[in-house]
Structure 1
Amino acid sequence: MVKPTLLALSIAAACPSIVYAATDAQQDLATQLQQLKLQVEALESRLAEQAKQQTAAENQQNAAPVAVEKNVDEKPADGIEVGGAVRTNFSHTSYDEGNKNRGGDFDFDLLRLDFRGTVGDVSLNAEIRFFDYMTAVKKAYVAYQLDELWQAQLGITQVPFGNWPYNSNNYFFSSNYYLGLEDDHDLGLLFKRLSSDQWQLDIGFFKNDELGGIDGYVGDKTDRYSYDIVGARGATEDIYGEPVQALAETNTFASRFGYHVAQGQLNTELGFSVLSGKLHHGARNAGDYQAFALHLNSRYQRWQLQLQHSQYHYDLDDIERVAVGAYGFYDSIAAEAKSATVNLAYDLPVQWGPITDLQFYNNYSLVYDKSDQSRSTLMNVTGFSIAAGSLFTYVDYAHARNQPFVGGSMAGNSSDEEQRFNINIGYYF
């Protein structure tokens, strides 16, 4: 901006006739100079006032968006949103002769309802799933933001353990899921440190599983989304039968630590997880259990690599096998075992009609050193997922041995390897 004094002098210089136009006979030079001085002073005053008003207007204009944005952040609109999904599933298997003869089966998978939102300072996150054969609550918790870093969650919430939030990319998860060590949800209190720097910490206390533990008033202990221990297995018991001695987890502490490292386009989380709890048979404690894991989740451009080593131990007198339940079925796992997972994935953004993203992956799981001396469990899933608007589809080819939902059991002792080709199509709303 040109200073007022310079502007005024420029105006005066541009109008020399103001000073020199009058003749010597008609005007006195001193009088003209005095008049010019008064005019310049008046012009300077007006220009200064205009500049002052313009600066004030600019300051007010710049400040207005900040104030509006702050008010929006401080007072979000209250309300609960309802969403969900409808999913169908096609499978062609090597282990079911009827399925092979029919050329596979196409079935209804589930109807899912999600509830999420905030009322006041408390938020809600819940999900219920409806199957043909059962209804199961996956999660249902309220959350409160304690400060900028810490959030508290109370209710049925995810147990912090392993690569987060999933240690897999495919529809079947990893074998850890069937051991209760991936995407497990129990009833308790969880404190989450929201990552604002390089490290993240989750600490939780879970009173019991999502169905109320050993004395939960439910009709069927297998009507649940997450795999949990439901009983002890005797040496002669059917691995798929209802256990003679009921058991349940109680008073479990769990903690997950993650440290983030960034080098250029390479972003990696290194972490470890531990959990420890008690086992109860209704009248008294029957034992305890522990698990730990070392995990890595690394991304480079469109690539993702996940590695995890896990160990667990259900410490029960003279018991080398325990019963678990989920999805309307009983199954069995060794009371102690180790597992290893290796996952590699590649994301490919595309513009093919409604298709906007493809993810290709290969997920490998191995469960070994089982205390019941049964053969190891392995599962390798090669496939891809398709994102197309509200549709999300998994296309998987699973090759497995002693793996639930691929022709086996975690407590199986088969040397045969089975295959399952699977397509799961979901519409999310």
Structure 2
Amino acid sequence: MRYNYNVSSWKPEQQKRGGDLGFDVFRINAKAKYKGLKLNAEYRFYSEGFGGAMLKQGWIGYDFSTENNLQLGLTQVPFGITQYNSHSWFFSMNYYVGLEDDHDMGLKYTHIDDQWEYAIAFFKNAEELSFGNNSDVSNSRYAYDVGSSGSGTHKNKEINQFNVKVDRKFSNGSAQHKVGVSAQYGGVYNIDTKDVGDRYAWAAHYELKVGSFDLKAQVSKYSYNTENPDGEDNRVIAMTAYGAPYMVASEALSYTLGAAYTIPVEWGPVSSLQFYNDFGMLDKTVDSFEDSFMNVTGVLVSAGNVYTYIDFAQGKDQPWLGAAWTNGLGSGTPDAEWENRFNINIGYYF
């Protein structure tokens, strides 16, 4: 169960109220195992305004050995730093363009040993909640996927995606390193034209752990070649999650860098404080588009089963950190200013 408090610079009436405190999410996790067969599922309940109830993940797996596993169902896409390319409650810029903690419907094989981690996967499509002949993608989903704009344009779906990810792990004294590359390629089906375009993404990523210090760095590139009807702008695509779509540049580079330091404490139930800073930039290929930025500075307070994120988040043409919702990650806003959001998220895990 999680609750959230926030006060935002672009909401003057909210500032007069001193911010708002409300329900965030209630979630149920289920895990099972029998002779190598496994189940892992997570169902989330948000308010209707944020998409309502949704399945974040839900897969059936089989352990061939301690190092090799196969998963079938709604499983995490092996792309970039996993499980998260971030430390804060807000994730990184990659999450908002569908490249962090994404979950799709398919088959994934993973191998993990002391030196190597690699995964090969095929995803038939993103979460499909309506099996109609020509139905739109539902806005009720946890991770961002290609969808429809909501105004009757840019009606696309992700189909037939292949993923490969490889990580090499090594140590240097007390320092632990992980260096990797990821790639994905798939189709984009347009509901109006019934034609299939294509898309790709690649990433290079690095993780460092030295004692209580943690570093995550990643550079990613993605591109969508859509088959929209004549007159629709192919320089942007619609993406959706949490009940509402927005527009995203169809081609861009993203740069993310996050660092964290954990301090153990003994303050009653409080056992540790993790201080962090996560920075992200979306460098859009179209010269006339305005680039998007975000930076989150915060601390994670761990107290038994209670985890509290205290974040000061800043954004520029970032839909969740400013007023530019529809086009922030698309064409952007000329002369956009940095906006601020102070956020506290409190969760009890049981």
| TM-score normalised over the length of structure 2 | 0.92
Structure 2 residue 64 is matched with structure 1 residue 146:
yes
1:306-317 equivalences in 2 (<5 Å): 306-316=216-226
**Shift in Å, 1:370:** 3.4
Corresponding residue for residue 357 of structure 1: 272
Secondary structure of the 1:98 match is: helix
Corresponding residue for residue 296 of structure 1: 206
1:108-119 equivalences in 2 (<5 Å): 108-119=23-34
1:408-419 equivalences in 2 (<5 Å): 408=324, 409-411=328-330, 412-414=332-334, 415-419=336-340
CA contact (8 A) 2:196 2:226 kept: yes
1: CA distance, partners of 2:93 / 2:305: 28
Corresponding residue for residue 256 of structure 2: 341
The superposition leaves residues 313-369 of structure 1 with CA deviations (integer Å, 9 ceiling, x where unpaired) of 001256100001100111010010001011110011111100011100000000013
1:19-418 equivalences in 2 (<5 Å): 86-133=1-48, 134-194=52-112, 196-211=113-128, 215=132, 221-231=138-148, 241-282=150-191, 284-316=194-226, 319-371=234-286, 373-407=288-322, 408=324, 409-411=328-330, 412-414=332-334, 415-418=336-339
The superposition leaves residues 197-234 of structure 1 with CA deviations (integer Å, 9 ceiling, x where unpaired) of 21110111000001258858989711000100114xxx
| TM-score normalised over the length of structure 1 | 0.75
Which has the larger share of helix?
1
Q: Residue type of the partner of 2:349?
A: Y
**Shift in Å, 1:149:** 2.2
Structure with higher Rg: it is 1
Secondary structure of the 2:84 match is: coil
Gap runs ≥5 in structure 1: 1-85, 232-239
The change in CA–CA distance for 1:249 and 1:120 in structure 2 (over 3 A counts) is same
**Shift in Å, 1:245:** 3.9
1:9-20 equivalences in 2 (<5 Å): none
- Calculate percent identity across the aligned residue pairs: 37
The change in CA–CA distance for 1:273 and 1:90 in structure 2 (over 3 A counts) is same
**Shift in Å, 1:413:** 1.6
**Shift in Å, 1:399:** 1.1
Corresponding residue for residue 230 of structure 2: none
**Shift in Å, 1:416:** 1.3
Structure 2 residue 341 is matched with structure 1 residue 423:
no
Corresponding residue for residue 80 of structure 1: none
CA contact (8 A) 2:129 2:137 kept: no
**Shift in Å, 1:268:** 0.6
Superposed CA RMSD: 1.8
CA contact (8 A) 2:62 2:69 kept: yes
The change in CA–CA distance for 1:254 and 1:229 in structure 2 (over 3 A counts) is same
Q: Residue type of the partner of 1:102?
A: R
2: CA distance, partners of 1:168 / 1:97: 29
The superposition leaves residues 82-122 of structure 1 with CA deviations (integer Å, 9 ceiling, x where unpaired) of xxxx0000001000111111010001001100001213431
The change in CA–CA distance for 1:291 and 1:220 in structure 2 (over 3 A counts) is closer
Count how many residue pairs are aligned between Structure 1 and Structure 2: 335
1: CA distance, partners of 2:284 / 2:241: 24
2: CA distance, partners of 1:261 / 1:230: 40
Gap runs ≥5 in structure 2: 228-232
CA contact (8 A) 1:214 1:248 kept: no
Secondary structure of the 2:247 match is: strand
Q: Residue type of the partner of 1:332?
A: M
Q: Residue type of the partner of 1:98?
A: E
